[in-house]
Amino acid sequence: MALSDHETRLKKLRMRSWRRGMKEMDLILGPFADAHLADLSEPVLDRYEQLLDENDQDLYLWVTGAKGAPERLMPMLQMIAQSAGVGPSEKKLAD
């Protein structure tokens, strides 16, 4: 049975989430992807896919709140941080 385009996209996003190159990000994004991707709307999946294009070292600092994140990424980062039990503060926004 062939996978739908949506199922194929989810499978690729899960793989990209679990195979980041930085183990800490694998352990944050992988479980998030497994638990939440299937429930996200297409526009939110688009934002998640854009987030996956970011550098792992930056993502880690942003998702943990150690460094201010671009405002455009904050809603997705907050969702991921909440899922992982870590979190950026809304005060730590950067342009």
In 3D, which of 54, 94, 52 has the Cα closest to residue 71?
A: 94
In 3D, which of 61, 3, 67, 14 has the Cα closest to residue 37?
A: 14
Instruction: For domain 5-15+23-87, give its CATH number from 1.10.150, 1.10.10, 1.10.3470, 1.25.40.
Output: 1.10.150
pLDDT digit string, tens, across residues 40-85: 999 999 999 999 999 999 999 999 989 999 999 999 999 999 999 8
pLDDT band at 87 (very low <50, low <70, confident <90, very high): low
Q: Which DSSP letter does residue 73 get?
A: G
Phi then psi dihedrals of residue 68, to 5 deg: -60, 140
> What residue ranges do the domains of the chain occupy?
5-15+23-87
Phi then psi dihedrals of residue 37, to 5 deg: -55, -40
Least confident range of 23-32, 33-42, 79-88 = 79-88
pTM, rounded to two decimals: 0.84
The answer to whether the beta carbons of residues 92 and 69 sit under 8 Å apart is: yes
pLDDT band at 86 (very low <50, low <70, confident <90, very high): confident
Alpha-carbon distance 40 to 20, whole Å?
Answer: 21
